[in-house]
Amino acid sequence: MECGDTLMKLDGGILEYSSCEHVYNAQYCIKRTGGIITKRYCSSLDLGNYCNYVKQPGDKMEYRTCIYTCNTDGCNQTSAIKLSHFFNILPLSLCIFKFFMY
């Protein structure tokens, strides 16, 4: 079993998978999202799929936190846009913006 973990490495914007051999009887990949943080790790337990709204002491806002569980290698991947795609789109966006401003 391989999942991303909290000490993930980025190689050119691509999430590298980590072995789960350090977790006894690991059968699941868990992705936990909340606020601006996403953590991925291995688990021997199926934590299900659900979301909650949480307000920490001292926070002014309530945050949506979610748990996603899957059971195949690399199943908790990211869907973020690569930085290189951003720089490809930026010049076109600026041209469109200038066109509509004049």
C-alpha span between 31 and 28 (Å, rounded): 10
Q: In terms of pTM, does the model score above 0.85?
A: no
Inter-residue long-range contacts of 45-51, CB under 8 Å, 24+ positions, other chains counted: 46/71
C-alpha span between 88 and 86 (Å, rounded): 5
Inter-residue long-range contacts of 56-65, CB under 8 Å, 24+ positions, other chains counted: 63/34, 63/35, 64/33, 64/34, 65/32, 65/33, 65/34, 65/35
Domain boundaries, the chain: 2-100
Each residue's pLDDT tens digit, 70-82: 987 667 666 554 4
Counting residues of the chain whose pLDDT is more than 90, the rounded percentage is 15
